[in-house]
Amino acid sequence: MKITRITKDNEKMFLPLLPAKGGKAADDLIRLGVTGDKDKVAGAICARIVEGQADITSLYVLPESRGKGAGKLLLTSLEEILKGQGPDALSAEFFGDETSKGFYGAMGYSIFDVGWRYSFTLGELLRSPLYIRYIKDKPYKNVSFVSALDTKSLKTLERSIGAAEYDPEWSTAGFADGKYTDCMMAMKLDRTISISWLNTNGTDPLILLQHFRALAEKTLAEYQGDMGVRYIMTFEKAAVASKLAKLLGGSRHLHKDGRLVRAIKVMV
């Protein structure tokens, strides 16, 4: 098998194996392909370097090429390239099937169970009966975008959430009587908003909706009213997901995507 760097000149042959979004050529994206007999495409891998860490955004090997070393060649080739670029670690996040966990484990990766990932759309949130009754057109209560916080509040927030990654333009934080109470950390990815919910006193449904209202209004403005924009959240405990389902008007509006697993390897 032969490994090759995917460029704009040869990407057409690998496009079916690349993610529809996030697979196009970019300065921070490494793309490798592998071919087999008669230069037939066998697989491809993409990784993005962000703040000292490299994340595998996709790894796919065609069914007829599995079990022949294509995946191993792609991953080891990527690791060799990254050694010269300085990331501290290489990681991958995927839905937890035993084959993937076994593959990464055999390649020297530590495996961590992240939790169940759920998703819902902007339209499902805005049509929620509780949202319409208690939140829509009501004044905000103690919720601000992180980008709008004063210096003192921002320092308080940072002490509470540690080194968590978030976009201050999309994330929201709650304060009451000068004290931090909760935070909805968010990151915008194409037509998807990734969300992590942090709180100090359990999950009050109406407080959670306050944060969602701020995020929904920003989403409406950013995506010009596109109701199909998707929010994704990952929970370790099913109880929190159950509360969110009730907020959305029933479990049919909260879609279980699967159990997320994270594989991490420290780069030496």
8-state DSSP, 109: -
**Alpha-carbon distance values, 3 to 17, 95, 128 (Å):** 15, 26, 50
Q: Using the Cα atoms of residue 180, residue 194, residue 171 and residue 90 in order, give the sign of their dihedral.
A: positive
Query: For residue 202, what pLDDT is reported?
Result: 62
The C-alpha atoms of residue 23 and residue 30 are separated, in whole angstroms, by 9
pLDDT in tens, the chain (268 residues): 899 999 988 999 999 998 877 778 888 889 999 998 888 999 999 998 876 778 999 999 999 999 999 999 999 999 999 887 778 889 999 988 888 999 999 999 999 988 889 999 999 999 999 889 888 887 777 889 999 999 988 988 888 887 677 899 999 998 888 788 888 999 998 789 999 887 766 667 788 888 999 999 999 999 999 999 999 998 877 777 888 888 899 999 999 988 899 999 988 7
Residue 124 has a CB neighbour count (10 Å cut-off) of 21
Q: Give 44's strand partners.
A: 33, 60
What pLDDT score does 201 carry? 61
8 A C-beta contact, residue 266 and residue 102: no
d(CA 14, CA 24): 11
- Per CATH, the architecture of 2-87 is what? 3-Layer(aba) Sandwich (3.40)
CB atoms within 10 A of CB 237: 10
Cα(39)–Cα(36) distance, integer angstroms: 5
């390649």: which residue's tokens?
Answer: 107
Can 2-87 and 116-259 be said to share one CATH topology?
yes
Boundaries of every domain in the chain = 2-87, 116-259
pLDDT tens profile 169-186: 999 998 888 788 888 999
Residue 266: Cβ within 10 Å count? 12
> Of all residues in the chain, what percent carry a pLDDT higher than 90?
46
Q: 30 and 3 in contact (C-beta within 8 Å)? A: no
Tell me which CATH code domain 116-259 carries.
3.40.630
Structure pTM? 0.73
Which residue is listed with tokens 């990952």? 234
Can you tell me the distance from the alpha carbon of 207 to that of 211, in angstroms, rounded to the nearest whole number?
7
